[in-house]
Amino acid sequence: MSDHAKEPTLIEQGFSLLFAPEPTLADRERAIRVALRVLSGDASQPQAMALLLRALDPERASAAAASKLALAFVRRGDLPSATMAAWLVERAGGSADRAREGIARAFGKGSKRLADVSPAPPPLPSVPAEPAGLAELSGEALLARAKGAMEAFERADDPAPEGKLPQLPLFSALEPKALERLLASLEVRELRAGEHAIEQGSEGREAFVVVQGTLRAERAPAAGSSEAPTLLAVLGPGAIFGEMALVSSAPRAAAVIAEEPVTLLVASLEALEAHAKTEPAIGRELGSYCRSRMLANLVRTSALLRAIPAAEHDAVMALFEARTFAEGETLFSEGSEPSGLYLIASGGVRVVAADPAGGEGLVVADLGAGDVVGEISIVLRQAATATVIASFPTVALELSRDRFQEAIRSHPSVLTELYRLATTRKDELHTVVAQEALDVEDVILL
């Protein structure tokens, strides 16, 4: 368990049994007994019912109980768990149409229940003493007790009030019908502790929403480095990650690893593209959401933006203009005068300098989101010292020469940071070229 992992609750221990590499009948029965123990103290407890329905074979699970579970999670403002419950309805052989329609009406655009409130974390279920004889139950006797608990759950009044619901990014921007179709395209995926949701450097074709459990996002150091991976974030229920794969084909910039048993909703690029053809709002809102997330990520990862006071971020970002480059397209060439400097927002670029020996060119650096190129020309007022080429479809924010002057007048810290970047990058470039020249000379001497 890592430093940020917490002590698992009883229900989380029950889910751990189900997420074993090959859960046995004994594992499933232990998970059922955990759920029944919690439900014996509160017949309406949703997390315990979710555990019970997952532990049972599909033909034994109740679609009616799963439908009510979806409603219970809606009342608690938990769209991901409600969507997972709709999946449980289908898993039990029922139709999830009504469940998804109810979720979409509650959370979709125009819902009167939406308000500027934060999702409340689910209360920890109370753990009553284990009912007498439960530990000894197995087989048909245990299944009969589980059936009774599902029927009691269906009859029980839900103590959660039907109050205001949080306005969720992306989801609440969609009309109910569009949201319903989006929810129907999501798949449920389960990960064991230590499993990867995303491998760094892999091709991205999916985005994820966390239903339960926590994951860590970390970036591996450069090849050959002895440094430990850098922790970027800990992702919990409700978090969305991996969405940039839906608008950029750049390799994954970090790994995301389960800290404990995790349930995810997965949106594939193919499914979303198919839905967007008939429901353009899905593609439009997804693009808008990804752009806002992209800018928010830049504020955290860009050395340039970190050097600017937070209160000035919006004003500085307003001076940049978004530009897109296809894979292989040149942003600017060595010896030219770039029209501005570029802050890489997504994708990546390769910096190539002329080979002193007359070869194809020297790769100086591969840069990605948060990095700046063109600063040597703009700040030091000289021609570009290298050619910059998009390695993948890339979005870059351009600060033109005219607006650069405006930026440094209004925000002097921009010039300070860019001067530091420009001189450092120029030294690195000279080092690479000089080393290549020495290598060539060594070969000739041999």
Q: How confident is the model over 215-236, as pLDDT tens digits?
A: 999 988 877 778 888 888 899 9
pLDDT value at position 284? 78
Q: In what order do the strands lie in the sheet with 262-268?
A: 187-191, 262-268, 206-212, 240-241
Residues paired with residue 388 on neighbouring β-strands, in sequence order:
332, 351
Sorting pLDDT into bands at 50, 70 and 90, what band is 430? low
Six token digits for residue 232: 């970027």
Q: Which burial class, exposed, middle or buried, applies to 420 when counting CB atoms under 10 A from its CB (0-12, 13-18, 19+)?
A: middle
Lowest mean pLDDT among 273-282, 317-326, 332-341: 273-282
Q: Are 390 and 325 in contact (CB under 8 A)?
A: yes
Which whole-number Å values give the CA distances from 67 to 64, 212, 302, in the listed order? Answer: 5, 19, 45
Q: What is the pLDDT of residues 346-386, one digit of tens each?
A: 888 999 988 776 667 788 888 888 888 988 888 888 888 88
Instruction: Compute the CA torsion angle 322, 326, 332, 333 (nearest 10 deg).
Output: 170
Average pLDDT for 119-146: 89
Element (H, E) at 410: helix 401-410
Q: What's the rounded mean pLDDT across residues 147-153?
A: 97
Output the pLDDT for position 234: 92
Which of 84-98, 140-154, 295-309, 369-383 comes out lowest in average pLDDT? 295-309
| Intra-chain end-to-end CA distance of the chain, in Å | 55
Q: Which pLDDT belongs to residue 106?
A: 97
| pLDDT: which is higher, 442 or 332 | 332
Mean pLDDT of 67-96: 97
- Provide mean pLDDT across the span 296-317: 78
Cβ contacts of residue 97 below 8 Å, gap of 6+? none
List Cα–Cα distances, 168 to 57, 105, 108, 127, 393, in angstroms: 33, 13, 9, 31, 29
Q: What local confidence, expressed as pLDDT, does residue 423 receive?
A: 80
Lowest-pLDDT range of 5-9, 94-98, 243-247, 435-439: 435-439
In the prediction, which pLDDT does 406 show? 85
What is the distance between the alpha carbons of residues 434 and 432, in angstroms, rounded to a whole number? 6
Mean pLDDT estimate for the chain: 86
Overall average pLDDT of the 171-177 stretch:
91
pLDDT band, residue 442 (cuts 50/70/90): very low
pLDDT of 45 > 70? The answer is yes
Residue carrying structure tokens 């599902």: 150
Nearest to 170, CA basis, from 212, 115, 108, 113? 108
pLDDT given for residue 140 in this prediction: 97
Total residues found in the chain within this entry: 446
